[in-house]
Structure 1
């Protein structure tokens, strides 16, 4: 695993533990020679993790739409910054550049990105591992709800198992490095991936 896409908030949230978790994840990534791919912002947890990876000597690639660059929320000190036309291009490029995905605490944008990659994994469109960094129990309610979707027969247990979750960044990275994805569904053509 050479790169991880990290989805996270453009806010730092109401608990110092979130920023501390971002810095811990950055340290684990750098110590494992894993580069950061993220949304290119200089605000919130996005800015915290990017700045920490850079401070520790790691590589950071940002992908940001022109409209957000124009609002001056783009990070200008990255190893690489790709400016794209829209959010669709942003998400596609981030996925292409990454060997796996982690969602840290964040809002609906973070959840939307997480669930898109989760859905694509479930459908066999990619076989890259996906995890939640559950800092200070931030995702406990979401995990309970996802278990409810399994119990209600809207999600298969083996598909829920595609989503790793840990409170410790080192354990989450290890889980993702050791992940064994489901075999691709036979109806997915190789050129659709």
Structure 2
């Protein structure tokens, strides 16, 4: 598969399931198309199911750069043969276990790198990406979003981070963060590390206009 050289590489965190609302998959695909249209490449968790597959397929179909990074243990859970995708959409989209199956790796979703563990996956994604976007997802998506946000707070990076709040999915999480600020556990400045978007187009705008807030730590993370 021939891929364009992107202006920047966007790391997208999202679920390997579809969720309970068709709008999640619809907007995930729309985001992928917009990213490619704006000449952004994609770095992601390497799955072909759920929202992961929607974003990656949209970017790859546009001929844009896609790099999936997946632990070997998850290949049987989060990869599906291209011909199985319609079957998943039609028959299994209502189940959180809709990514249960084995498949050989193929290039329909860009280039895939298989690693040994989750830590390596996240490290490589963070190193390659120029910015980060989180879509709806579960424990894994939240963990990835919180880790990369904490790294920004600690001064490890100053890359843009955007949360796409599709159909109010993250309303309670946003209120939780506001509560942490109110109760003195997150500074008001650091509460601005993550930009909030409500549509794929707003994600692009947030990425283009992002400025890392003041109040972040300026620590020395170099290896001396």
Shorter-chain TM band: over 0.9
Partner residue in 2 for 1:46 = 52
Task: Detail structure 1 runs of 4+ shifted over 3 Å in the superposition.
Answer: 182-186
Q: How much does 1:72 deviate?
A: 5.5
Partner residue in 1 for 2:78 = 73
Report if aligned partners of 2:16, 2:78 keep a CA contact under 8 Å in 1: no
**Does 1:134 pair with 2:139?**
no
Task: Give the Cα separation in 1 of the matches to 2:29 and 2:71.
Answer: 25
Q: How much does 1:130 deviate?
A: 0.4
**Does 1:168 pair with 2:187?**
no
Counterparts in 2 of 1:24-173, with a 5 A limit? 24-69=30-75, 71=76, 73-74=78-79, 76-77=106-107, 78-173=109-204
Task: Give the Cα separation in 1 of the matches to 2:62 and 2:177.
Answer: 35
**Does 1:189 pair with 2:223?**
no
Q: How much does 1:139 deviate?
A: 0.5
State the SS of the aligned residue for 1:82. strand
Q: How much does 1:182 deviate?
A: 3.8
Report if aligned partners of 2:164, 2:196 keep a CA contact under 8 Å in 1: yes
Report if aligned partners of 2:153, 2:217 keep a CA contact under 8 Å in 1: no
Report the CA distance shift for 1:66/1:178 in structure 2 as closer, same or farther (over 3 A). same
TM score, norm. by length of structure 2: 0.81
Q: How much does 1:59 deviate?
A: 1.6
Unaligned runs of 5+ in 2: 1-6, 80-104
CA RMSD of aligned residues (A): 1.5
Q: How much does 1:53 deviate?
A: 1.1
Aligned residue pairs total: 190
TM score, norm. by length of structure 1: 0.93
Unaligned runs of 5+ in 1: none
Larger radius of gyration: 2
**Does 1:13 pair with 2:19?**
yes
Task: Give the Cα separation in 1 of the matches to 2:186 and 2:139.
Answer: 21
Report if aligned partners of 2:163, 2:196 keep a CA contact under 8 Å in 1: yes
Q: How much does 1:190 deviate?
A: 5.0
